[in-house]
């Protein structure tokens, strides 16, 4: 069987609108430019670093801002909707005996509340979270080591180019999804191993991972 490690925000959880609402409310306090709702779709073409420059968030305030955003999301964890089609696919992968885990920059408590609310908690071996925006690769490595998962049998499913970078840092293959925070053209530039527009494609990837490798 194969191992599927999942990002959370924008991959499993449809949390973009909640994050935009929270960050816009905190913008005056932290001294950065709010994001008009009309601009959200266009901003999906920016990397996380470009988005930071666009908004004018002072770099020194980013750790404190992340803590506040995570704390507020934690209060909403059980109310965040899953991305369309995700619950069915997660249950199918679990029933097929693939190993599933969540590796995210978000707080584990938020993810656990979300999984419990949507009856998905039993499907996941663990939830690893926290840290900074750009150190997710180390979280993936920690997850692999903790559960003794072989990188060659593992993919990391995410919605941003930093997820692709994190997967490659950890020696696993990236699967990029187009229903999250980054646009399809931006993800395509990073040439992930798979670029998918529908959660059902994860089942085909599972079949590919189990197929015997040709010598």
> Based on the number of CB atoms within 10 Å of its own CB, is 161 exposed (0-12), middle (13-18) or buried (19 or more)?
buried
Integer Cα distance of 12 and 115 in angstroms: 9
The vertex-3 CA angle with 176 and 111, nearest 5°, equals 70
Q: C-alpha distances in angstroms, 139 versus 159, 167, 190?
A: 17, 10, 21
Structure tokens at 114: 């979300």
Measured torsion, CA atoms of residues 125, 135, 157, 209, in degrees rounded to the nearest 10: -80
**Strand extents, DSSP E, the chain:** 3-6, 99-103, 127-128, 154-158, 173-177, 194-196
Cα-to-chain-centroid distance, residue 10:
6
Active site residue 7: yes
Active-site residue list = 7
């Amino acid at each position: 069987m194969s191992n599927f490690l999942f990002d959370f925000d924008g991959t499993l959880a449809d949390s973009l609108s909640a994050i935009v609402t929270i960050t816009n409310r905190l913008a005056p306090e932290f001294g950065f430019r709010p994001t008009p709702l009309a601009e959200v779709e266009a901003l999906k073409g920016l990397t996380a670093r470009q988005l930071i420059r666009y908004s004018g968030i002072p770099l020194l305030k980013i750790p404190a801002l992340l803590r506040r955003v995570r704390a507020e999301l934690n209060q909403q964890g059980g109310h965040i909707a899953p991305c369309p089609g995700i619950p069915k696919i997660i249950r199918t992968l679990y029933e097929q005996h693939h190993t599933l885990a969540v590796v995210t920059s978000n707080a584990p408590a938020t993810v656990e509340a979300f999984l419990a609310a949507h009856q998905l908690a039993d499907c996941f071996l663990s939830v690893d979270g926290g840290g900074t925006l750009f150190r997710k690769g180390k979280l993936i490595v920690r997850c692999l080591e903790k559960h003794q998962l072989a990188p060659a049998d593992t993919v990391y499913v995410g919605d941003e180019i930093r997820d692709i970078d994190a997967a490659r840092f950890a020696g696993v293959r990236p699967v990029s999804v187009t229903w999250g925070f980054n646009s399809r053209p931006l993800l395509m530039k990073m040439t992930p191993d798979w670029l998918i527009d529908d959660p059902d494609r994860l089942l085909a990837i599972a079949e590919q991972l189990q197929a015997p490798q040709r010598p």
